[in-house]
Amino acid sequence: MPSWFLQRLRYRERLIINNTFAIVLGQRIRELGLLRAVGATGRQIRSSVLIEALLIGVVASLVGVFAGRGNLLGVSKPYSSSRRWVRPP
C-alpha cells in the first residue's frame, strides 16, 4: 500500500480515537462533578476512578488473552494435522 494511504488512515484513526475520548471525558467530568457536589472528597473520587480503571484493565486483559489464545488455536488447528507445511529432510 502507498504510504500516503497509510498516513491518511492513521490520521482518521487518531481523529476517531480523540473524538471518542473527548466524549467520554465530557461525560465523566459531569459525573465526577455531581459526586463532588453531593459531598464526595477528592480522595474518594480518585480512589473510585482508580479502582474502576483497575477492574476494567484486569477484565479486558483476561478477555484479550483468552480471545487471542482461542483465535490462535482456531487458526493453527487445521495445520497441526497436516505435514504439508513441514519441509522434508
Question: Are residues 36 and 61 both part of a single domain?
Answer: no
Q: What is the C-alpha separation between 66 and 63, in angstroms, rounded? A: 5
Please report the pLDDT score of residue 70 as a whole number. Answer: 82
Per the structure, the complete domain to which residue 17 belongs is given by 1-40
- Range 47-80 burial, b when 16+ CB lie within 10 A, else e: eeeeeeeeeeeeeeeeeeeeeeeeeeeeeeeeee
Question: Are residues 73 and 60 both part of a single domain?
Answer: yes
Question: Would you say 22 and 32 are in contact if contact means Cβ atoms under 8 Å apart?
Answer: no
The larger pLDDT score, comparing residue 9 to residue 74, is at: 9
Q: How many domains does the chain have?
A: 2
- Quickly state the pLDDT bin for 21 (edges 50, 70, 90): confident
**pTM exceeding 0.85:** no
- Quickly state the pLDDT bin for 61 (edges 50, 70, 90): very high
Q: What is the C-alpha separation between 50 and 44, in angstroms, rounded? A: 10
| Summary mean pLDDT of the chain | 86
Question: Are residues 14 and 27 both part of a single domain?
Answer: yes
Asked, for residue 89, whether it belongs to a domain, the answer is no
The mean pLDDT of 7-36, rounded to a whole number, is 91
Question: Are residues 54 and 79 both part of a single domain?
Answer: yes
What percent of the chain is modeled with pLDDT above 70?
A: 83
The mean pLDDT of 28-41, rounded to a whole number, is 93
